[in-house]
Amino acid sequence: LFNKDLGQHILKNPLVAQGIVEKAGLKSTDTVLEVGPGTGNLTVRILETAKKVVAVEMDPRLAAELVKRVQGKPEQKRLNIMVGDFLKTELPYFDVCISNTPYQISSPLIFKLLEHRPLFRCAILMFQREFAMRLIAKPGDNLYCRLSINVQLYAKVDHIMKVGKNNFKPSPQVDSSVVRIEPYNPPPPISFKEWDGLMRIVFVRKNKTLAANFKTTSVLQIIENNYKTFCSLNNMMIEDTLDIKQKVINVLQSVDMAESRAAKLGIDDFLKLLYAFNQANIHFC
């Protein structure tokens, strides 16, 4: 009946469903975006408070079941079901997002939400436990990674509750967790491409020193190319004696981070590092 490729694990425990919706702090004026409503266990609860729900469901059979569930009821008019792939759907305005997410799209789902404008107030999302732990991980934690820092750059992320796998049907391989994501509004005024370019370098081996991660030939090659492009676009002379490796080391030393490791650095450290690189005309995209 259920399609494993679509991550269809229906939430069976009504107390968990109620808990998720309560944590959203919905107002009667809210438009809620729900990703993957399935048979509608969360949807009907959201409709008790919210003004309107826009639900994006990929599986037409489940979408049809949800239509049936509200048919002829007053809620019907306040529910708009869009059938299709969330990642390919142009999103409407929404105040809050609630989702027992299809796990195979966890990461692109978050970034699609964070890129949407205007920014939403908060998102209550259920993920596989380890993915949720990555989202909330802080410098020094085992699971701290590029995902942690990229999401935390744009949002406050909190762990809300653990949900054991037996609360679902069919039950998945691993336990889940619910997190709350509240985007910072306005978002930090930095280029994400540039930031992520830097993160890709330093988090490849997060326990190595920054100097070691920057000294690899492939990294230096990319940085040198970017440097030359930047100089020519800005009508700047490229030194005959250009030694990109030394330039990079100088920047790392200027902020006292040559021997630092990404595993222990936080957002403020990396913002400082990125600024220092940019001051030296070194860019990451």
In the complex, the residues that contact ligand SAM under the rule CB under 6 A are 6-11, 35-38, 41-42, 56-59, 62, 85-87, 100, 102, 105
Whether 258 contacts 247, CB under 8 Å? no
Min CB(254)–ligand SAM separation in Å: 45
Min CB(124)–ligand SAM separation in Å: 12
Pick the closer one to ligand SAM by CB: 3 or 253. 3
Min CB(46)–ligand SAM separation in Å: 10
Min CB(108)–ligand SAM separation in Å: 9
Q: Which residue is nearest to ligand SAM (CB)?
A: 36
